[in-house]
Amino acid sequence: MQGHSHYVPTSGIGKWMDSRLPVPRLVYDSFIAYPVPKNLNYFYTFGAILSFMLIAQIITGVVLAMHYTAHVDLAFNSIEKMMRDVNYGWMLRYLHANGASMFFVAVYVHMFRGLYYGSYKAPREVLWILGVIIYLLMMATAFLGYVLPWGQMSLWGAVVITNLFSAIPLVGPTVVEFLWGGYSVDNPTLNRFFSLHYLLPFMIAGVVVLHVWALHVTGQNNPTGVEVKDVKKDTVPFTPYATIKDAVGLIFFLILFMWFVFFQPTYLGHAVNFVPADPLVTPPHIVPEWYFLPFYAILRAITFDINLIIFTIPSKLGGVLAMFAAIAVLAFLPWLDTSKVKSTAYRPMHKQFFWAFVVVCLILGWLGSKPAEYPYTVLSLIFTGLYFAYFLVVLPLLGLFETPRKLPASIADAVLAKVRKGGAPVTAGAAAAPQTKG
Amino acid sequence: MMKRFSLRMATAGLAGLVLASVGPVQAAEQLAPPRFTWSSSGVFGTFDRAQLQRGFQVFKEACSACHGIDQMSFRNLAQPGGPEFSTAQAAAIAADWMHKVREIGDDGQPAERTPRLADRIPGPFANKKAAEAAHGGKAPPDLSLMPRARSYERGFPWFLTDIFTLYQEHGADYVKAFLTGYEEGKQTPPGTHYNKYYPGNFVGMPNILQDGLVTYTDGSPQTAKQYAADVTAFLMWTAEPHLEQRKRIGFQVLLFLLVLGGLTYFTKKKVWKNVEGHS
């Protein structure tokens, strides 16, 4: 799709710059002339939405950091002062805290969209894996950020998550002391978490650049999963077509975002985090933020030691391994899915398994919010099994047994067929198509 | 000391993993408080000034002997969006306050002085240890954030509908219910009192709000129920002094985005008009 560049500098400065550092050419080729399939739906606007969210989080975060004090005795009060005495400090803080949640809303839509339309398949494997890396970095950043207000859930969430690493055989306790910077979650921990919380978003930005680069090499996938055959017939230029559509998607996403910021600003958090951290009082329920809940359920699903005859995996290590495997398995998706057909729109069986998988993820999220007791532990185990079965059993086998529907010859054909069926009313511009008003 | 914390955290972390529930008493079932009406709820919610002023009076006369309100300054009492006392009234409240500002005097010795408008509202105790010593080992919590720091389980599907019905007064409902939730004649461990809304039911704080305890000057009913409503409204404000500004700006932001979204949508339709399969 990249092809050769059609950029023609017109001004004197443009020509001078183009032969030295062709930044205008890069922008022109990437965001103006870049051809996008003309059948993209609104689920494809989430890439732009995510870019916006990353920039918004960095800007609000940099300003918040000007008012924040990373010290166990001062952090909680520095944030309360920000909420009360800094001009619009409350707004910045709500934007940032809810922005993290909305970032995950957008990334989950983006990921499920990729899953549905097979966007991870050749030639987009590297693009997908870069996405998995961004997701991992996002999770780390969000976790570190939640610790900074130093409320009860901040502290005890940090205690639970850092303790995961103690399950690593032999070096576990050393690793945990290294993370803590001491013998408990304390001031050194808060300081390094703040430092890393400031660092990771820029690493995300770096990987995002690679992600977009890879996207512009392979070109975008589309709802038919059929690759672009004829750039003239199958695609439209990024500007104005994709830019205006992304803008519409972004604005309606912002309406949801602002609803939370201004009318439910603490809904997505925990009340107990308005209690200052106290190492001597453990909150009754230690629960992560909603976007981690499915993985939290998987972590706690392994309540028994796994006996492998030669050695035994203790339950705690088993849970940690299962949780990391649940994320790592995503990176292998391009090779686990054996079907030649990309889009689930043409895979009748996968369509059912896909939606079943979405439900499994939602149920795991619900289980993650429940205390680890009967029957939730048993259910967690069952649904953890189903989660992995989707990747390790369903996707590899489905490619062999499923009979896909007939694919359209090209994107243009698919669009035309839709027009003929009357799926979309035809406008004056589409002169060749018959009128099917009504 | 460090090692002890380390061990404690390691065990709690483990317990968190395996049980996610530490302390069987705290994890006890909590009785859901009833829903109350608050003037500050909803899209256009604002505080009732007179109620916040009465609530402040209740706090001053019934709560402040034991509880602090550390995040608030006297000047806040006169700022827009709160009880909106006049600056002179707020200054007079500071001058009359029953607790003094504790500081180090010019001679290097601990000293006390009368609070001013700019000071944080001083609490009853010089430090946490003093508060613990006076209350059998457990300090009365600071009240600044109380309605935000408490909540109760909503359950499915209400936790989802709350997003759209804008219910966010879980903590306030709990606080008001708690203040009037004491019951006499129950068996309690020594030094505790029975409260049907408190998780675990046995709470150190006695039943404070009795009918007629505080004398109102505006003719409002002088009942425990009214005191509880007023002081809870006051604490909702201390928990979020910019609540009114938040809702006002939020309405403008959403209105703007809806108009912008509509215009952008129709621009998009126009741009895509000539692309086959789109309208």
Residue of B nearest to A425 (CA): B279
Q: What is the pLDDT of residue A249?
A: 98
Q: What is the pLDDT of residue A5?
A: 84
Cβ-defined contact of A244 to B258 (cutoff 8 Å) = no
Cβ-defined contact of A259 to B19 (cutoff 8 Å) = no
Q: Are strands B193-194 and B101-104 parallel, antiparallel or unpaired?
A: unpaired
Cβ-defined contact of B264 to A251 (cutoff 8 Å) = yes
Whether residue A209 lies within 8 A of chain B, CB to CB, comes out as no
CATH number of the domain at B42-253, please? 1.10.760.10
Q: Which of B5, B253, B265 sits opposite A248 (nearest CB)?
A: B265
Residues of chain A with pLDDT > 70: what percent? 95
For the segment(s) A28-280, the CATH number from 3.20.20.70, 1.20.1440.130, 1.10.1040.10, 1.20.810.10 is 1.20.810.10
How many Å apart are CA A78 and CA B128, to the nearest integer? Answer: 19
Residue of A nearest to B157 (CA): A366
Residues of chain B with pLDDT > 90: what percent? 84
Residue B8's pLDDT band (cuts 50, 70, 90) = low
Shortest Cα distance from B154 to chain A (angstroms)?
Answer: 12
Give the best residue of B69, B278, B279 to mutate against chain A (max A CB count within 10 A).
Answer: B278
Q: Taking 80 as the threshold, does the pLDDT of residue A174 lie above it?
A: yes
Question: A68-101 pLDDT, tens per residue?
Answer: 999 999 999 999 999 999 999 999 999 999 999 9
- Residue with the two structure tokens 């409350």: A90
Exposure pattern of A240-253 as b/e (b: 16+ CB <10 Å)?
A: bbbbbbbbbbbbbb
Q: Taking 80 as the threshold, does the pLDDT of residue A155 lie above it?
A: yes
Q: What is the pLDDT of residue B199?
A: 93
Chain A residues near residue B247 by CB distance under 8 angstroms: 262-263
Cβ-defined contact of B260 to A91 (cutoff 8 Å) = no
Chain A residues near residue B261 by CB distance under 8 angstroms: 248, 251-252, 255
Q: Which of B19, B249, B273 sits opposite A262 (nearest CB)?
A: B249
Q: Which of A251, A371, A424 sits opposite B20 (nearest CB)?
A: A371
Q: Which of B257, B267, B276 sits opposite A254 (nearest CB)?
A: B257
Cβ-defined contact of A271 to B171 (cutoff 8 Å) = yes
Whether residue A398 lies within 8 A of chain B, CB to CB, comes out as no
A429 contacts: CB under 8 Å, gap ≥ 6: B273, B274, B275
Angle B198-B202-B203 from CA coordinates, rounded to 5°: 75
* Mean pLDDT, rounded, of chain A: 93
- Residue with the two structure tokens 């559509």: A245
Identify whether the C-beta of residue B222 lies closer than 8 Å to the C-beta of residue B212.
yes
Tokens of A107: 């990334």
Q: Taking 60 as the threshold, does the pLDDT of residue A2 lie above it?
A: no
Residue A27's pLDDT band (cuts 50, 70, 90) = very high
Helix, strand, coil content of chain B in percent (nearest 5): 45, 5, 50
Quick count: other Cβ atoms within 10 Å of Cβ B82? Answer: 23
Q: What is the pLDDT of residue A433?
A: 40
Q: What is the dihedral of CA A114, A115, A117, A120, to 10 degrees?
A: 70
Identify whether the C-beta of residue B210 lies closer than 8 Å to the C-beta of residue B222.
no
User: For residue A44, which of A104, A102, A103, A106 has the smallest C-alpha distance?
Assistant: A106
How many Å apart are CA B274 and CA A389, to the nearest integer? Answer: 45
Q: Is A404 left (phi over 0), alpha (psi -120 to 50) or beta?
A: beta
Question: A289-316 pLDDT, tens per residue?
Answer: 999 999 999 999 998 998 888 888 999 9
Question: B123-144 pLDDT, tens per residue?
Answer: 999 999 999 999 988 999 999 9
Residue of B nearest to A427 (CA): B279
Question: A311-365 pLDDT, tens per residue?
Answer: 889 999 999 999 999 999 999 999 999 999 999 999 999 999 999 999 999 999 9
Tokens of A198: 């400031």
Tell me the H-state helices in B138-190.
146-149, 158-165, 170-179
- Residue with the two structure tokens 């976790």: A143
- Residue with the two structure tokens 């010089």: B126
How many Å apart are CA A317 and CA A71, to the nearest integer? Answer: 32
Q: Taking 60 as the threshold, does the pLDDT of residue A374 lie above it?
A: yes
DSSP one-letter code for A390: I
How many Å apart are CA A268 and CA B163, to the nearest integer? Answer: 10
Report ipTM for this prediction.
Answer: 0.91
B130 contacts: CB under 8 Å, gap ≥ 6: none
Size of interface A-B (CB pairs under 8 A): 196
Chain B residues near residue A166 by CB distance under 8 angstroms: 10, 13
Interface of A with B in 24-83 (CB under 8 A): 38-39, 77, 80, 83
Distances (CA, A) of A294 to A270, A375, A392, A394: 17, 16, 18, 20
Cβ-defined contact of B279 to A425 (cutoff 8 Å) = yes
B182 contacts: CB under 8 Å, gap ≥ 6: B193, B194, B195, B206, B207
Whether residue A315 lies within 8 A of chain B, CB to CB, comes out as yes
Domain boundaries of chain A, sorted by first residue: 28-280, 288-415
Chain B residues near residue A182 by CB distance under 8 angstroms: 2
Chain B residues near residue A159 by CB distance under 8 angstroms: 9, 12-13, 16
Residue of A nearest to B81 (CA): A84
Question: B207-251 pLDDT, tens per residue?
Answer: 999 999 999 999 999 999 999 999 999 999 999 999 999 999 999
Question: A209-253 pLDDT, tens per residue?
Answer: 999 999 999 999 999 999 999 999 999 999 999 999 999 999 999
Identify whether the C-beta of residue A31 lies closer than 8 Å to the C-beta of residue A239.
yes
Chain B residues near residue A366 by CB distance under 8 angstroms: 156
Cβ-defined contact of A282 to B23 (cutoff 8 Å) = yes
How many Å apart are CA A264 and CA B103, to the nearest integer? Answer: 39
Tokens of A182: 């001491």
Q: Taking 80 as the threshold, does the pLDDT of residue B202 lie above it?
A: yes
Q: Is the dihedral of CA A203, A209, A215, A221 positive or negative?
A: positive
Q: Taking 90 as the threshold, does the pLDDT of residue A264 lie above it?
A: yes
How many Å apart are CA B175 and CA B147, to the nearest integer? Answer: 6
